[in-house]
């Protein structure tokens, strides 16, 4: 079977757009993710975004009305929509508005507050199939948009950037995400785990101190002494050679010098964002086990779709009691995409089909697409952050970082107090 043909595995699934605040769409995603009748293909968080995503004709739209300033704007947005739309209105709107919204042709149901999606699923599926019978075949959806952003992470996002395939741009994106978090004013730490690690080179840092210095003195003081800085971002450089990496990989999880202990030590140092740049093998399982979020970086190739599914499977299938990464906290990024390569939707369909072949309920949507930008390796060779190399690279990274860390950019916040950013509570300030 070809990778791009989904066969019976999901080709018939109804495509869904989730539009609303991230905490809301996350709950929806969780309810629909395990239901094979549905495939969440994109997310939208503001009216403009909804408009753009509607252009790809999702069969079902779940719409949180509160992203619109009022009923008029909502009504305008609903005019001419051909999807089956389910609208969730604020709990206190008058009955007449509920009815007005419900009378729009696209709206199949409107609710005050929340509805039980599991109960609603059967009706949604039937509505979508009825529309399918009326309409010519829908064009292929784009698998992009904002995934859930994950379950609520109390105070600290520990992100492992990983894939089973090498050279996908994990180190580049790990550094960019961590730097973007720091520039939002969050206490952020980037941990290199490569051997020899490219992060110091890419960020204009020295190879020393590095992870081996932490291993020699695995205490809070030893950790602080092993750090270097890029602006307000703290960086722990990775291994200088393969031998030291092998030594770290052989340590038991609870050893005081392990990756796990490093993350615990960093957590006590009051970071809001810890980003681990994991290698393909080596200490990767320890990084994954110490994290609550996985950023899967892949190129827009079938080989990388395959590798990504395998990476996803190792993370979520061993989840029972072993790992802390829930399916909703896996964020997929297509990197170095060039014209002519698979579209995000084609890529997602291939990954989704492969995941289903392995008995998984599906594969998470593509959260961001980063194009191939020739200035990125040039900047890295000069020791300048890729984030500063070009807007074409920085834009999707900002989007990802907003999703992971909330939308606030650069604030004062000294004193390590906890604030609410987007859907997660985060510690701010030194
Ligand atoms: N969006 C991009 N546009 C252009 N080049 C990129 C982009 N992202 C990464 N690269 C380049 O691709 C190469 C591989 O990137 P990187 O080292 O980040 O990947 P990796 O997955 O960490 O690889 P490794 O398996 O070696 O650890 C680097 O030369 C980097 O400059
Ligand atoms: Mg790397």
How close is the Cα of 284 to the center of ligand 2, in Å? 11
Measured from the Cβ of residue 417, the count of other Cβ atoms closer than 10 Å reads: 9
Going by pLDDT thresholds of 50, 70 and 90, the confidence category of residue 203 is very high
Q: What is the pLDDT of residue 139?
A: 27
422 compared with 351, residue with greater pLDDT: 351
Would you say residue 321 has pLDDT above 80?
no
Q: What is the pLDDT of residue 140?
A: 24
How close is the Cα of 278 to the center of ligand 2, in Å? 7
Average the pLDDT over 414-418 and give the result: 40
Going by pLDDT thresholds of 50, 70 and 90, the confidence category of residue 257 is very high
Ligand nearest to the CA of 375: 1
**% of the chain exceeding 90 in pLDDT:** 54
How close is the Cα of 279 to the center of ligand 2, in Å? 6
DSSP 163-222: -SSSSSSHHHHHHHHHHHHHHTTB-EEEEE--TT-SHHHHTT--S-SBHHHHHHS-SHHH
* Three-state DSSP class for residue 403: helix
Query: Thinking of the domain 154-427, which architecture would CATH place it in?
Result: 3-Layer(aba) Sandwich (3.40)
Average the pLDDT over 355-381 and give the result: 94
- For a pocket test of ligand 1, which of 160, 167, 177 has the largest count of ligand atoms closer than 8 A to its C-beta? 167
Q: What is the pLDDT of residue 268?
A: 78
Any idea which of 30-39, 211-220, 322-331, 387-396 has the lowest mean pLDDT? Answer: 322-331
How close is the Cα of 169 to the center of ligand 1, in Å? 3
Residue ranges covered by each domain of the chain? 14-134, 154-427
Query: Thinking of the domain 14-134, which architecture would CATH place it in?
Result: 3-Layer(aba) Sandwich (3.40)
Any idea which of 9-18, 133-142, 338-347, 390-399 has the lowest mean pLDDT? Answer: 133-142
Residue with CA closest to ligand 1 atom 10? 169
What is the DSSP code (8-state) at residue 100?
H
List CB contacts of 2: < 8 A, sequence separation 6 or more: none
Query: How far apart are alpha carbons 220 and 269 in whole angstroms?
Result: 8
Q: What is the pLDDT of residue 38?
A: 87
Query: How far apart are alpha carbons 288 and 276 in whole angstroms?
Result: 9
Q: Which of 59, 63, 27 is nearest to 46 (CA)?
A: 63
Measured from the Cβ of residue 352, the count of other Cβ atoms closer than 10 Å reads: 27
How close is the Cα of 73 to the center of ligand 1, in Å? 43
Domains 14-134 and 154-427 share a fold: yes
Q: Which of 2, 78, 3, 6 is nearest to 39 (CA)?
A: 6
Query: How far apart are alpha carbons 318 and 363 in whole angstroms?
Result: 16
Would you say residue 371 has pLDDT above 80?
yes
Any idea which of 8-12, 228-232, 331-335, 358-362 has the lowest mean pLDDT? Answer: 8-12
- Determine if residue 93 is left, alpha or beta; phi over 0 gives left, psi from -120 to 50 gives alpha, anything else beta: beta
Going by pLDDT thresholds of 50, 70 and 90, the confidence category of residue 145 is very low
Would you say residue 359 has pLDDT above 80?
yes
Query: How far apart are alpha carbons 345 and 305 in whole angstroms?
Result: 12
Residues with CB under 6 A from ligand 1: 166-172, 194, 198, 335-336, 370, 372-373, 376-377, 380, 393
Q: What is the pLDDT of residue 155?
A: 53
Would you say residue 204 has pLDDT above 50?
yes
Tell which atom from ligand 1 comes closest to the C-alpha of 371.
1
12 compared with 77, residue with greater pLDDT: 77
Q: What is the pLDDT of residue 299?
A: 98
Query: How far apart are alpha carbons 230 and 203 in whole angstroms?
Result: 7
Ligand nearest to the CA of 167: 1
Would you say residue 187 has pLDDT above 50?
yes
Would you say residue 419 has pLDDT above 70?
no
Q: Prior bond to 423 cis, omega within 30? A: no
Ligand nearest to the CA of 202: 1
The residue count for the chain: 430
């Amino acid at each position: 079977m070809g990778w791009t043909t989904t066969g019976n595995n999901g080709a018939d699934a109804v495509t869904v757009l989730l539009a609303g605040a991230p905490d809301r769409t996350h709950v929806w995603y969780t309810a629909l993710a395990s239901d094979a009748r549905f495939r969440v293909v994109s997310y939208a968080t503001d009216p403009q975004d909804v408009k753009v995503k509607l252009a790809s004709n999702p069969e079902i739209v779940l719409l949180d009305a509160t992203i619109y300033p009022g009923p008029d704007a909502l009504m305008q947005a609903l005019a001419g929509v051909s999807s089956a739309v389910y609208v969730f209105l604020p709990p206190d709107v008058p009955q007449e508005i509920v009815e007005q919204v419900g009378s729009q042709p696209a709206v199949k149901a409107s609710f005050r507050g929340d509805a039980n999606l599991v109960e609603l699923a059967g009706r949604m599926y039937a509505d979508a199939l009825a529309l399918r019978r009326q309409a010519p075949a829908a064009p292929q959806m784009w698998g992009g948009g904002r995934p859930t952003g994950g379950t609520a992470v109390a105070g600290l996002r520990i992100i492992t950037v990983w894939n089973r395939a090498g050279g996908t741009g994990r180190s580049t994106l790990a550094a960019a995400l961590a730097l973007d978090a720091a520039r939002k004013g969050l206490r952020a730490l980037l941990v290199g785990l490569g051997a020899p690690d490219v992060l110091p080179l890419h960020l204009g840092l020295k190879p020393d101190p590095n992870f081996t210095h932490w291993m020699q003195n695995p205490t809070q003081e030893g950790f602080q002494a092993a750090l270097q800085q890029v602006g307000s971002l703290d960086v722990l450089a990775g291994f200088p050679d393969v031998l030291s990496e092998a030594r770290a990989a052989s340590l038991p999880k609870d050893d005081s010098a392990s990756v796990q202990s490093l993350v615990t030590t960093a957590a006590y140092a009051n970071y809001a964002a810890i980003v681990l740049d994991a290698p393909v093998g080596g200490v990767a399982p320890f990084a994954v086990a110490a994290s609550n979020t996985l950023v899967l970086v892949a190129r827009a190739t079938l080989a990388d779709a395959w590798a990504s599914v395998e990476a996803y499977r190792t993370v979520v299938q061993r989840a029972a009691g072993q790992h802390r990464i829930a399916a909703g906290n896996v964020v997929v990024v297509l990197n170095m995409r060039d014209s002519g390569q698979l579209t995000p939707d084609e890529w997602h369909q291939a990954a989704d089909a492969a995941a289903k072949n392995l008995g998984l309920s599906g594969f998470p949507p593509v959260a961001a697409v980063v194009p191939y930008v020739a200035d990125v390796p040039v900047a890295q060779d000069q020791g300048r952050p890729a984030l500063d190399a070009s807007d074409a690279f920085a834009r999707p990274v900002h989007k990802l970082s907003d999703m992971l860390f909330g939308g606030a950019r650069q604030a004062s916040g000294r004193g390590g107090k906890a604030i609410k950013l987007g859907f997660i509570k985060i510690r701010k300030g030194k």
